[in-house]
Amino acid sequence: MANLNLTLKVWRQLNAEDHGRIETYEARDISDEASFLEMLDIVNERILEDGGEPIHFDHDCREGICGMCSLTINGIPHGKDRGITVCQLHMRTFKDGDIIWIEPFRSRAFPILRDLMVDRTALDRIVAAGGYIDIRTGAAQDANNLPVEKDKAEAAFEAAACIGCGACVASCKNSSAMLFVSAKAAHLNYLPQGAPEKQKRTLSMVRQMDEEGFGNCTNQYECEAVCPKEISADNIAKLNRDYALSSIKEAVS
């Protein structure tokens, strides 16, 4: 165990109307056993004791599953470690004397609410447009009446592991939400339960995505690199195929 002295460069912005700015904080004597968010807690306690307003950031479960935390650390959403959210990032991955830049997830589709908190409800609206299987409560048949091939079930699971954090969008130079949308579409499109609505789902989710102001995908795979759940960019290829097929079917029907 060792303690670290760090310099933080943090984006501060009171609300959507405010002009934001980077402010500097010295984070002294931070245990390397602490998590990154606990480091921010310590800094915030000290800011409060000095009469200031704490740095606001989104967080909740602090175990990498709720998708709430959303910091860009030294330019990389969720930081440089692979396969984790910010709340799973630990201070032992930093060195004494490091300067750490902390910014919000950046995208036009994610307006800033305060400091490091952004509005990601655009992602919910994409799901509302078609990211579901329409089955009334109580209408289901026995779960084992519909066997699903294990590899398809696994592929659906891998896509369903998405936690909707939006790091894919924040990492993309075009602010594309294709990894998020393709993961949701693949989860449901792989499964036999999802087949009847596949065409409708694919078209309406993609159209909603465009309406929300997300950019296009230009195959740079930054999204895959930062995804805390390591969702594969292969889903994007699948979505492009499903979309092309669905568009043709729609045009000729």
Partner 1 sequence: MLNSNIPSGPIEQKWTNHKFDSKLINPANKRKFKVIVVGSGLAGGAAASTLAELGYQVSCFCYQDSPRRAHSIAAQGGINAAKNYRNDGDSIQRLFYDTVKGGDFRSREANVYRLAEVSNAIIDQATAQGVPFAREYGGLLDNRSFGGAQVSRTFYARGQTGQQLLIGVYQALEKEIGRGGVTMHTRSEMLDLVTVEGHAKGIIVRDMVTGEITSHAADAVILATGGYGNAFFLSTNAMGCNVMAAYRAHKRGACFANPCYTQIHPTCIPVSGDYQSKLTLMSESLRNDGRIWVPKNADDCKKNPSDIPEADRDYYLERKYPSFGNLAPRDIASRAAKEACDDGRGVGPSGLGVYLDFHDATQRLGQETISARYGNLFQMYGKITGEDPYQTPMRIYPAVHYTMGGLWVDYNLMSNVPGLHVLGEANFSDHGANRLGASALMQGLADGYFVIPATIAPYLASQTPGSVTTEHAEFKKVEEEVRERVGRLININGKRTVDSFHRELGHLLWDKCGMARDKAGLEEALDRIPGIREEFWENVRIPGSGNNVNAELEKAGRVADFLEFAELLCHDAHDRKESCGGHFRTEYQFTEKSPEVKAGKTQPGEAKRDDKNFSYVAAWEFKGVGKKPKLHKEPLEYEAVKQTIRSYA
Looking at residues 40 to 69 of the shown chain, list those that interact with partner 1 (rule: CB under 8 A).
Answer: 41-42, 45, 48-49, 51-54, 56, 58-68
Determine how β-strand 3-12 pairs with β-strand 99-104.
parallel
Q: CB within 8 A of 127, min separation 6: which ones? A: 184, 205
Burial of 252: CB neighbours in 10 Å, binned 0-12, 13-18, 19+: exposed
Binds partner 1 (CB under 8 A): choice among 133, 237, 244, 245: 133
Q: Are 29 and 91 in contact (CB under 8 A)?
A: no
Nearer to partner 1, 15 or 219 (CB): 15
Number of residues that bind partner 1 (CB under 8 A): 76
Least spacing, CB of residue 31 vs partner 1, in Å: 5
Minimum distance from residue 135 beta carbon to partner 1 (Å): 4
Q: In the range 154-193, which residues lie near partner 1 by CB under 8 A?
A: 156-157, 160-161, 163-164, 187-188, 191, 193
Q: If DSSP codes are grouped into helix, strand and coil, which group holds residue 212?
A: coil
Residue 201-240 contact track with partner 1, rule CB under 8 A, x = bound:
----------------------------------------
Please choose, out of 94-102, 110-118, 218-226, 241-249, the segment that lies near partner 1 by the rule CB under 8 A: 110-118
112: left (phi > 0), else alpha (psi -120 to 50), else beta? beta
